[in-house]
Amino acid sequence: MKHSDSRTTDSFHKEVLLALLLVILTLASGFAIQVLLQIQDNRRAEQRAGLLMLDTLEEFETYAWNERAYHRAAAERLTSLPAKKQARLDDLHLDLLTIVSAASPMKDGYVPELGTVVEEYQLDARCAAICWQMMQDCRAENAGYPMICSAYRTQEFQQELFDNKVVRVMMERYCTIEEATALAAEEVAYPGTSEHQLGLAADIIDETFPYLTEWQETTGTQKWLKEHAADYGFILRYPPGSSDITGIIYEPWHYRYVGEKFAHEITNRGITLEEYVAWRRGR
């Protein structure tokens, strides 16, 4: 009896050990996958951060196209949004809180009523003069030397950039127009996915440092804008550490008009437009 009991205990121990081993193996493989994913994420973040250390506008343009291609791929994964959600995105389309991104492209044919900010730069008529006033006030307070370097972009301009890319690819690779179109799409954004096409976004930089890099945040203009933009209805659209939510890297120069009330609510909460819109929808 004793002998048999001890054998039963032995096999019980073996089963427990086996079960434990299985649990450990499962946990370990899960952990390993997590680590691998994290490494991959870090590598991508590093690559993107590394690319940010650019000091010419030309380099930045190249970077920006790649960045957009990345987001377009993300958008393609999101095309199967439930109809209800799609309808809600449409409801907000002409609102000041409209989100335009690779994941949420614009409706075809939307052209805002435009007003001139300065020289050839135009914005939605609701904020063009306000944007100009904001830059004037920054200057008047001797805080910085703001200048605008990108404002409203037309669908045609974006289309032109895309078409030029297709032609270049065809010449470089001697391929068909279909192949060239697919390849061009990896580098140049399809028209309709840039917030600049809404007419509510402006890239404002400091004359003393006219570069689109993260260092832009150290300029007097950006320090002043960060403090006062909400009083004029503008928000820092792509704040640091929010690219997971916005899908866009930190852009200290990109300001978006949402109106004073919303701008204060968003700025005071320290959240992104995406989070604010989600919160409003959920109320």
Rule CB under 5 A: which residues touch Zn ion? 203, 254
Question: 206: which strand partners?
Answer: 146, 209
Nearest to 51 by CA among 35, 77, 37, 69: 69
User: Closest CB to Zn ion among 64 and 230?
Assistant: 64
Q: Which is nearer to Zn ion, 153 or 165 (CB)?
A: 153
Q: Shortest distance, CB of residue 195 to Zn ion, whole angstroms? A: 7
3-state helix, strand, coil in the chain (%, to 5): 60, 10, 30
First vs last C-alpha separation in the chain: 69
Which of 103, 122, 102, 104 lies closest to 113, judged by CA? 122
Task: Tell me if residue 251 is catalytic.
Answer: yes
CB nearer Zn ion, residue 166 or residue 242: 242
Residue 75 CB, nearest approach to Zn ion (Å): 18
Q: One of 67, 141, 217, 251 is an active-site residue; which one?
A: 251
Across the chain, the runs of DSSP E, i.e. the strands, are 114-118, 121-124, 146-150, 201-206, 234-236, 254-257
Q: How far apart are CA 273 and CA 80, in angstroms?
A: 22
Question: Which residue's beta carbon is nearest to the bound Zn ion?
Answer: 254
Closest CB to Zn ion among residues 180, 232: 232
Residues labelled catalytic: 251
